[in-house]
Amino acid sequence: MPFKFKPLQSALLLASLCPLAAQAVVVPIIADTYLDTLVTGKAVTVDISKIGLLNFNLSTLPDGITSSDIAKATLVFYVKSVATGGQVQVSPVTGVWDENTVTKNTAPVIGLVEATSAPISRSNTYFAVDVTSLVMDWVDFSANNNGLALAPVNTTALTIDSKESTTTSHPAYIEIALKGFAGTKGDTGAAGPQGSRGLKGLTGVTGPAGAKGDTGATGVKGDTGATGAQGSRGLTGLTGATGPAGAKGDTGATGPQGPAGVSYVPGTKYVLGDTGPKGGKVYYVDGSGEHGLEAQATDEATALTWTAAVAAASAYNTGSVTGWHLPTKTELELLYEQKTVVGGFADNSYWSATEGSSGYAWYQNFYNGYQDGNLKSGSYRVRAVRAF
């Protein structure tokens, strides 16, 4: 039976079938309000023309997680309305507060600005801000987690959905990408070089995990064998998870590996709709124009269950190039936004790699753009993607 995930009900854990895959955990919001003369904790929107307060429950992270396990943390919020476009600043809240009692006269102390969003001009859409350093501090020192303050820059005036907005159900959340596991141990156990970092997204949305090497031994072999050669650098951003283990050196341990066989000609510029470096259709590029995401030019021949979709996307290759994968729900939403540029999509639902639980996963309807979750035994369309 289809369902709609509620952040207060559970965290959404992403874990692929391969033991070398990275994980992404969605941390739910537990309190949200904005500072005014009256208590606003039950309002269905948070007014960012004033100062908004958000607090999150990190107890859903796996036991034993420390800051060294965090690859990236991204605050995601849904902009409901925009009166005056602009940027939003994010700062840590350094004192305890309660959404049922706090006003601007009893507001907690707010720390220095840690991050600033990209310019926001559109309503009814998601935006994201990188909050990695703040979340790392909260993971190591849980007493410091009093949440975030969102403040307007200059005349910015907009509202975001609160957790009380039951009609649209778009409360803010933090997506945390955890680093992947180590590769095969080398002869002496010396650490190899680190693999490529994930892609930096348009507005900080968690980027895809680095492409998975076939066995952790397919990266470029080091000349002397003392350390494994560093894999080619991926884009910073969308999921940001550290890539799988790198190639095994003659004497050193296999380190994290960059994408196997992924390369590009330095200086090559791409625009949306171009043929990507490995034969896909480019549907996202960063500010340099040299890095981005490309999608498989056509769907897989038939609709598949979620498990079969993960396997089919991972097995897809162009000229023995691995690194193709089933898109995360964030990558899939970006692909939906450029569906006319890429082309060939059915007015149907497509699987993402993001799981809601052991039996459910996210999908996106390419007719109306709606994202939801369903049983993995259901059959949906499949389109593989990769970073370059």
Boundaries of every domain in the chain: 23-178, 281-387
Q: Is the pLDDT of residue 22 over 60?
A: no
User: What phi, psi does 219 have (nearest 5°)?
Assistant: -70, 175
Instruction: Find the Cα–Cα–Cα–Cα dihedral 325, 327, 331, 336, rounded to 10°.
Output: 120
Out of 14-23, 81-90, 358-367, 368-377, pick the least confident: 14-23
Q: Is the pLDDT of residue 66 over 70?
A: yes
Query: What integer is the mean pLDDT of 233-245?
Result: 52
Answer yes or no: same fold for 23-178 and 281-387.
no
Q: In the structure encoding, which two tokens stand for residue 89, read together?
A: 């600043």
Predicted local distance difference test score (pLDDT) of residue 41? 85
Out of 150-159, 166-175, 222-231, 249-258, pick the least confident: 249-258
**Helix, strand, coil percent content, the chain, rounded in steps of 5:** 10, 30, 60
Q: Across the chain, where does the E strand assignment appear?
A: 13-15, 23-34, 45-47, 52-56, 70-84, 88-92, 115-116, 125-130, 148-152, 157-161, 173-178, 281-285, 292-295, 349-355, 360-365, 371-375, 385-387
Measure the CA–CA gap between 331 and 334, rounded to whole angstroms.
5
Q: Is the pLDDT of residue 23 over 50?
A: yes
Q: Is the pLDDT of residue 376 over 60?
A: yes
Report the phi/psi class of residue 168: left, alpha or beta, with left for phi > 0 and alpha for psi in -120 to 50: alpha
Position with higher pLDDT, 236 vs 52: 52
User: What phi, psi does 60 have (nearest 5°)?
Assistant: -80, -10
Predicted local distance difference test score (pLDDT) of residue 157? 97
Measure the CA–CA gap between 253 and 127, rounded to whole angstroms.
40
- DSSP character at residue 150: E
Measure the CA–CA gap between 328 and 269, rounded to whole angstroms.
25
CATH topology of domain 281-387: Mannose-Binding Protein A; Chain A (3.10.100)
Cβ neighbour number for residue 75 with a 10 Å cutoff? 25
Out of 69-83, 115-129, 193-207, 215-229, pick the least confident: 193-207
- H runs (alpha helix) in the chain: 132-140, 306-315, 329-337, 339-342
Query: What integer is the mean pLDDT of 341-353?
Result: 95
Q: Is the pLDDT of residue 28 over 90?
A: yes
Measure the CA–CA gap between 274 and 294, rounded to whole angstroms.
9
Q: Which residues contact 134 (CB under 8 A, 6 or more apart)?
A: 73, 90, 92, 114, 148
Q: For residues 258 and 247, is the Cβ–Cβ distance under 8 A?
A: no
CATH number of the domain located at residue range(s) 23-178 in this protein = 2.60.120
Query: What integer is the mean pLDDT of 154-170?
Result: 89
Predicted local distance difference test score (pLDDT) of residue 188? 41
User: pLDDT-derived band of residue 388, with 50, 70 and 90 as boundaries?
Assistant: confident
Predicted local distance difference test score (pLDDT) of residue 255? 44
Mean pLDDT over the full length of the chain? 80
Q: Is the pLDDT of residue 37 over 80?
A: yes
Measure the CA–CA gap between 69 and 156, rounded to whole angstroms.
35
- DSSP character at residue 338: T
